[in-house]
Amino acid sequence: METVLGIIGGSGVYDHPGLKNAAWTAFDSPWGTPSDALNIGELEGQKVVFLPRHGRGHRLSPSGINYRANIDIMKRAGVTDIISISACGSFREDLPPGAFVLVDQFIDRTFAREKSFFGNGLVAHVSMAHPVASRLQDHAEEAAKAAGIKVVSRGGTYLCMEGPQFSSLAESNLYRQWGCDVIGMTNMPEAKLAREAEIPYATVAMVTDFDCWHPEHDNVEVTDILEVMHGNAANAVELVTHLARNFPRERGACSSGADTTLDTALITAPEARDPALIAKLDAVAGRVLSSS
């Protein structure tokens, strides 16, 4: 099976100038309106599908993003692997602004978002013990180093807050005590939904600031973040270029099991399943629902 690399671009990363034969293509989703159309093209010979998470022009707040529709249309477009490019704050002195962190764990502190494709009428429970595909992390790490990014840290915990306000000092100190490494507002429930859709997922978290715990950076300002974000975005473009250049053209089995996670997740008996919900899951769970 041919690989199709999906890139969800976060703050400051809305497109990739190197896409060839690119076309913005709108997809309808039964889950509502996605952030934007998909920019589908080729990069270094690799088919790439690019989605600006906040919409072109950064129209959508973290809480206003329709994460279910975004993942659904990525699945409909044939995406086999997702790399999330995300701005974040740092809880560690050795992860300064400009660092790229390949996180492998998440803590979800969001509360105003739809977090699952499943529910009453078709219940499913997917494992999130290891939410990031290590194979994708390998490729992202190699690409980051090839792009010449100075600080690339593999592994770490991403605390996802609801936002849109930044943390209070008490919250920032609490999250550091929990052992979190970075903080952002968008990777949950995105990673959970990718898992439910059986799409291997990995995050490249780009540090823009030290949050507010740092005594020399005790007030997060958007103007300061935007300045760092500009340099991060240029590095992200280079990372994605190297990633596409060396990405496998044929899809292999995911070592984390993300591509078959629904095999053991559905719990509702077939005769008790809601036909309306099944219809909405045609892309996300069609593989298992058609067989059952």
Tens-place pLDDT, residues 99-151? 999 999 999 999 999 999 999 999 999 999 999 999 999 999 999 999 999 88
Residues designated as active site? 209, 211
Between residues 114 and 13, which one has the greater pLDDT? 114
Contacts of 29 (CB under 8 A, 6+ apart): 66, 68, 69, 72, 73, 76
Q: Is 272 annotated as a binding residue?
A: no
Q: How confident is the model at residue 10 (pLDDT cuts 50, 70, 90)?
A: confident
pTM of the model: 0.95
Check residue 292 and give its pLDDT.
Answer: 62
Which pLDDT tens digit goes with each residue over 51-70?
999 999 999 999 999 999 99
Six-digit token pair at 48? 């790439």
Q: Is 54 annotated as a binding residue?
A: yes
Where do we find the tokens 């790439």? 48
Average pLDDT of the residues of the chain:
94
Q: Is 186 annotated as a binding residue?
A: yes
Q: Is 11 annotated as a binding residue?
A: yes
Q: Is 218 annotated as a binding residue?
A: no
Q: Is 210 annotated as a binding residue?
A: yes
* Distance in angstroms (rounded) separating the CA atoms of residues 166 and 218: 11
Domain 5-291 sits in which CATH superfamily? Nucleoside phosphorylase domain (3.40.50.1580)
Scanning 147-268, the segments in alpha helix (DSSP H) are 169-177, 187-196, 222-246
Six-digit token pair at 12? 């400051």
Q: Is 53 annotated as a binding residue?
A: yes
Q: Among 148, 150, 155, which residue's Cα sits nearest to residue 102?
A: 155
Burial class (CB in 10 A: 0-12, 13-18, 19+), 178: exposed
Contacts of 199 (CB under 8 A, 6+ apart): 6, 71, 74, 75, 79, 80, 81, 82, 258, 259
Check residue 91 and give its pLDDT.
Answer: 97
In contact, 47 and 189? CB cutoff 8 Å: no
- Count the neighbouring beta carbons within 10 Å of the beta carbon of residue 277: 17
Q: Where are the domains of the chain?
A: 5-291
Whether pLDDT at 162 is above 80: yes
Check residue 218 and give its pLDDT.
Answer: 59
